[in-house]
Structure 1
Amino acid sequence: MVDTVWTPYCGPAPAPAEALGRWNGDPALWTVLAAAALAGLVLLRGPARGRYAAAMAVLAVGFVSPLCALSSALFAARTLHHLLLVLAAAPLLALCVARLRRPRLAAATAMQAVVFWAWHAPDLYAQALSHDAVYWLMQVSILGSAVWFWAAVRSARGHAAVAALLAAMLLMGLLGALIVFAGQPLYAPHFASTMAWGVTPMDDQQAAGLIMWAPAAAAYLLVALWRLNGLLKPTDRPAGGAAA
């Protein structure tokens, strides 16, 4: 049997000794990030400008820093990369857009889950680590669906937003649990790259699943509790009593 040679966008899997030096110098990526950052800083005002700058910094960490190369070696690093998009960059970007008048919250919640689950199907994931165009389709669709979700949550009434956040929490946790208890390694691009890091492909996969199952799912729960706290606070009544 001939082993498949994986050619991920972030380059071949690094050894531990070289990982910290593996910054992404792709000029096309740097041009796009710089142009997007400049456009946002010119067009946005007030707090939105700072949030946008923070979102661009998160994207730079994900795509320029050594995390990009590390995600070629470890599925757990790829999971961290995706969660930076979903739980950091996306909500920051959602805070920069106008509130949606009629947020399609159920559709946004379903779309985010479908996109995230689909790209973690082993065959589709392997395609993304074999072709740059598929890789960028994965990144853009994960980020875009998450921005839609967070924008819809931001614009929705409190009880609906809490329900959507709890649904997202359950779906993220379920995917993580399925990956943890799969019983066998699923992600072929990492079969030959984890041992240099002292972990088996199965250990790496279970670590990734646990990251989704616990801290990632908990992030949605924390936001849901924050929104719920706002619903439970007493509303101050206007001063003065009713006229006799």
Structure 2
Amino acid sequence: MVFSSTLAATTAAAPIWNWTFDWTVVLGCGALLAAYYGAVGFKFNRKTVLWTIGVVTIFIALTSPIHDVGEHYLFSAHMLQHLLLLLIAAPLLVLGLPVGLMKRALRIGWVARTEKILSQPLFAWILSIGTLWVWHIPALYNAALVDHNLHIFEHLSFLVTAVIFWWTGLKPIARLQMNTLPAILYFFFAALASSILGLLLSFAPNSMFPTYINPIDTSHLLQVFRDGWDLSAHGDQQLGGVMMWSSGGFGYLAGVVVVMVRWYKRDQLKTFRENIALEQEREAQKSRLTPVTNDA
């Protein structure tokens, strides 16, 4: 009975499935794809797939029903939107960058200087994690929900600082990569900071965001979430906090996995080269010790 009433309420509120095609998002995603394929050509390989999925993730996060529901009704939906940008789109964009293209770009003086400044590990960490924390200050968070331009800036700042963060931790150019232990600590403390923020949101005694306490029910969805889903504003905030400390923490720890895989591959390659060199040395010694016969 509860399921049928929930289904009926959800079906009646058809706007929950609406997509919002904001021209800034459409143009931005189109520009990312055009610039990338213009630079590397229309090739089908692992890098192009990763980049394309990253851009598609941005598009889904900012135009799907997640956007409207998160902007007007549910903190947890807004949290999901931010996690898509921070932990899926941003690392996929970085992993999709071709090594050759990046090497050519870094031969340009101002690009190399800018990269050197932005990819200082401490700076990149504070910039990205600080942006995450600052935007969850209730006054600023609520301001972004009621001001469309500020909301665009919020999402843009999340994405840009996240790309800087993931670039610093997962640079595709081997000679620029952090050493293994510092890279592990870089991602570990990001996971820790994200989890702490999520726990603070989960265990806050009251709902901190007025927009979700008394939403303007323009799409007639409030009954669906409050009665159909039995989700109060405080319960919704707790759910969003759980998403932050669980998914957010594990998302950053995925960076540790990538670092460890790279370390293992480097170690295996080093061992392989050492074995080849040792075998060549043995063959050389054998040839020196083998007497030369003169059939004449």
Same fold per superposition (TM over 0.5): yes
Paired residues of 1:159 and 1:228 also in contact (CA < 8 A)? no
Structure 1: distance between partners of 2:154 and 2:168: 21
Residue-by-residue CA offset, 1:177-204 (whole Å, 9 max, x unaligned): 0101111100111112466403111100
- The alpha-carbon deviation at position 28 of structure 1 amounts to 4.1
Structure 1: distance between partners of 2:166 and 2:66: 24
* 1:70 alignment counterpart: 69
* 1:165 alignment counterpart: 187
Greater mean alpha carbon deviation, residues 213-222 or residues 138-147: 213-222
Paired residues of 1:195 and 1:201 also in contact (CA < 8 A)? no
Local SS of the residue matching 1:129: helix
Paired residues of 1:158 and 1:228 also in contact (CA < 8 A)? yes
* 2:275 alignment counterpart: 238
Paired residues of 1:94 and 1:147 also in contact (CA < 8 A)? yes
* 2:93 alignment counterpart: 93
Greater mean alpha carbon deviation, residues 226-235 or residues 138-147: 226-235
Where in structure 2 are the equivalents of 1:23-34 lying within 5 Å? Answer: 23-34=19-30
* 1:60 alignment counterpart: 59
Structure 1: distance between partners of 2:205 and 2:52: 42
Q: Which one of the candidate residues 10, 13, 17 is aligned to 1:21?
A: 17
Larger radius of gyration: 2
Where in structure 2 are the equivalents of 1:80-159 lying within 5 Å? Answer: 80-97=80-97, 98=102, 102=116, 103-155=119-171, 156-159=178-181
* 2:38 alignment counterpart: 42
Q: Which runs of 5+ in 2 are unaligned?
A: 1-8, 104-111, 172-177, 216-221, 286-296
Greater mean alpha carbon deviation, residues 51-60 or residues 225-234: 225-234
Structure 1: distance between partners of 2:157 and 2:203: 27
* 1:8 alignment counterpart: none
Partner letter of residue 132 of structure 1? H
- The alpha-carbon deviation at position 35 of structure 1 amounts to 3.1
TM-score (norm 2): 0.71
Cα RMSD for the two superposed structures: 2.3
Q: Which one of the candidate residues 245, 254, 262 is aligned to 1:213?
A: 245
Structure 2: distance between partners of 1:202 and 1:56: 33
Structure 2: distance between partners of 1:116 and 1:80: 13
Paired residues of 1:19 and 1:69 also in contact (CA < 8 A)? no
Residue-by-residue CA offset, 1:209-235 (whole Å, 9 max, x unaligned): 000111220122233134235436554
Partner letter of residue 206 of structure 1? Q
Paired residues of 1:33 and 1:56 also in contact (CA < 8 A)? yes
Cα distance 1:36–1:220, how it changes in 2: closer, same or farther (>3 A)? closer
Structure 1: distance between partners of 2:130 and 2:156: 14
Cα distance 1:64–1:217, how it changes in 2: closer, same or farther (>3 A)? same
Partner letter of residue 105 of structure 1? P
- The alpha-carbon deviation at position 54 of structure 1 amounts to 1.1
Partner letter of residue 194 of structure 2? M
Local SS of the residue matching 1:186: coil
Partner letter of residue 93 of structure 2? L
Q: Which runs of 5+ in 1 are unaligned?
A: 1-14
Structure 2: distance between partners of 1:23 and 1:109: 33
Structure having the higher helix fraction is: 2
TM-score (norm 1): 0.85
Structure 2: distance between partners of 1:23 and 1:229: 38
- The alpha-carbon deviation at position 130 of structure 1 amounts to 1.0
- The alpha-carbon deviation at position 117 of structure 1 amounts to 0.6
Does residue 203 of structure 1 match 2:219? no
Paired residues of 1:41 and 1:53 also in contact (CA < 8 A)? no
Local SS of the residue matching 1:24: coil
